Structure 1
Amino acid sequence: MTGGRARAWLELVRGPAALTVPGDAVAGAAAGRAPARNTALAMGSSLCLYWAGMALNDWADRAEDARDRPHRPLPSGRIAPAAAFGAAAGLTAAGLALAAAGTRRQLATAGALAATVWAYDLKLKHTAAGPAAMGAARGLDLLLGAAGADRPAPAALPPAVLIAAHTAAVTHVSRHEVAGGSRAAPLAALATTAGVAAAVARPGPDAATARGCAASYLLTAAPALARAAHRPTGPHTRAGVVGGLQALVPLQAALAARAGAGAAAPVLLTLLGTARRLSRKVSVT
């Protein structure tokens, strides 16, 4: 594969944004006390399903992108629509296969996640249910990590709700990233971010690490969202979406710390730095 074609595929699956995915499995596994093998399978499964969703998203939006984002791989002709759809189907199958190698609950959760991803891309994205569907997908992604435990882990439900709430708020902002114009969406996302940070910073296991990660979460998401609320132009709104997406990593680290896996926090925060550097070269939206 040539360098130009490799870059096109990296753009299609939003390569840097994929670094926000493994932390879901880590946070879920910490809450569920899942064994390392099943956590690794959950990471692989969720990465495959994330890439599948990105490829399917651009396949479904190819006509819209030809008008608003002609530089993307499909409208620019660098990747054929059939190849993108085939990649989405193949990656979905791979994600389900990896989950099936774990536990039955992991397979069931991955199946629900895959169904949510396909429903969002093909039907729900441009409806009022779109942000909630995207939030549900992220929540299920965290639960996929918890599903690797030997027993059900109800402790994973609260962090899944927090991840889902943040994601839904940022997704609502993303609806205005082309033309801008909305102050309400970034303001609502700011309020959600503050509420999520407060919930994560409550007393619990490894509270000091959790509070530090919660502060990093706020510092990653809030400034760009505040600028988007102050000046809701397309570029400022896109920057708010990027900040909100990258903020998932310190949020995952905080949730893992609250579940007693504070040692995972430095590793996850390293992913944040890498994602920031790569996002300067390849768009995450």
Structure 2
Amino acid sequence: MRTLVELTRAPAALTVLGDTAVGAVAAGRPLRGRRALLPLASVSLYWAGMALNDWADRERDAVERPERPIPAGRIGPDQALRVAAVLGSCGALAAACAGPAEARVGAGLAASVAGYDAVLKHGAAGPAGMALCRGLDVLLGAGGDRAAWPAAAVLAGHTGGVTALARGEVDGTGVPTAAAALAGTALTAAAVVAGRCASPRHRVAAAGAALVYAATVGSAQWRTCRRPDGATVRAATRAGIRGMVPLQVALVARRDLRAAAVLAVAVPLARHLGSRVEIA
């Protein structure tokens, strides 16, 4: 069980639970009835992607991260691939149970996850591929409704910046990459505050959560600009993962304060668990 937890980065799934909530609130489609399965579909597909990530990177990890389950010999490559297949199938099935629109988005998300891990990850399109996965995860909660596209773009943009920076977790990164990630974080926070809100109260709540997001992610990225070595980049990547939750809270708070309050409970948990996981 511990090996499976490490293989799937199980604790980090907390940072994707809010994606479908963001999409649902933006589209005005509550996560009720069969649609309550969508957060579970999101988590299953995330875990599948992490397992597939380690299967695809097993030779590279044997050199760079020998402590991971596959190179350490705690699980075989074929077993890891089966875990990814089962989890991916469960995620797609859960999305399909929620409705036909959700089924289409879920299938697209599953395909995007597989494409990122098996093809795009180490190429120039890698950050864009990961960003697409995150955006589709938000749209899963919205059933693909266009009303959720702006919110999906915000989370996708953040994810792309974190992914680009995470490529330097082993050997460090360049100052331009670190500066670009920091600029992206500032633009993301500004976009959240400038977006349409249900009332002044909603805007204040969104601005507060956006400030927490900017402080959490931006401060770590600023340190990376000053010292772009591998250890500092890893810390900034973890901060980027933790920052997903306050960003989700900010996006939800623009229209639903009650849902934002529920989601905010995950912020301290994400801060704790985010220090123990990797996305690369």
- Common fold, TM-score beyond 0.5? yes
- Residues 51-72 of structure 1: CA deviation (Å, up to 9, x unaligned): 0000000000000000000011
- Residue 278 of structure 2 corresponds to 284
2:15 paired with 1:20: yes
| Offset from partner CA, 1:127-169 (integer Å, 9 cap, x none) | 111100100100000000001xxxx632101000111111011
Q: Report deviation, 1:181.
A: 3.4
1:252-267 to 2 correspondence within 5 Å?
A: 252-258=248-254, 260-267=255-262
**For the Cα contact (< 8 Å) 1:200–1:254, is it kept in 2?**
yes
CA distance in 2, matches of 1:219, 1:10: 29
Paired with 1:123 and 1:181, the residues of 2 have a C-alpha distance of 22
Structure 2 counterpart of 1:79: 75
Deviation at 1:284, TM superposition (A): 3.1
Distance 2:67 2:99 in 1: 41
Q: Please, which runs of 5 or more residues in structure 2 have no aligned partner?
A: none
Q: Distance in 2 between matches of 1:111 and 1:183?
A: 37
State the structure with bigger RCO (CA 8 A, min sep 6), 1 or 2.
1
Q: Which amino acid aligns with 1:278?
A: L
- C-alpha separation between the residues in 2 aligned to 1:115 and 1:245? 22
In structure 1, distance between residues paired with 2:50 and 2:110: 12
1:34 to 5, 25, 29: 29
Amino acid at match of 1:108: R
- Alignment-derived partner of residue 267 in structure 2: 272
Aligned to 1:185: 177
Q: Once the 2 structures are TM-superposed, how far is the Cα of residue 16 of structure 1 from its aligned partner?
A: 2.3
Number of the residue aligned with 1:65: 61
Q: Write the mapping of 1:101-140 to structure 2, written as runs, cut at 5 A.
A: 101-140=97-136
Percent identity between matched residues is 46
Question: Which residue matches 2:197?
Answer: 204
1:91-106 equivalence runs, <5 A: 91-106=87-102
Alignment match, 2:48: 52
How far apart are the structure 2 equivalents of 1:269 and 1:179?
34
Distance 1:146 1:58 in 2: 30
Q: Is the contact made by 1:162 and 1:196 (CA closer than 8 Å) also made in structure 2?
A: yes
For residues 277 and 169 of structure 1, the distance between their equivalents in structure 2, rounded to whole angstroms, comes to 22
Contact 1:138 1:164 in 2 (8 A): yes
Q: How far apart are 1:38 and its partner, in Å? A: 4.2
Which runs of 5 or more residues in structure 1 are unaligned?
A: 1-5
Cα deviation for residue 82 of structure 1 reads: 1.1
Q: Which amino acid aligns with 1:93?
A: S
Structure 2-normalised TM-score? 0.94
**Does structure 2 retain, via aligned residues, the 8 Å contact 1:246–1:275?**
yes
- 1:128 and 1:279 map into 2 onto residues whose CA distance is 26
Whether the 8 Å contact between 2:112 and 2:133 is mirrored in structure 1 is yes
CA distance in structure 2 between the partners assigned to 1:27 and 1:187 by the alignment: 27
Aligned partners of 2:158 and 2:184 also within 8 Å: yes
**RMSD across aligned C-alpha pairs, in angstroms?**
1.3
Q: Tell me, yes or no, if the aligned pair for 2:241 and 2:274 is still in contact at 8 Å.
A: no
Q: Look up the SS of the partner of 1:216 in the other structure.
A: helix
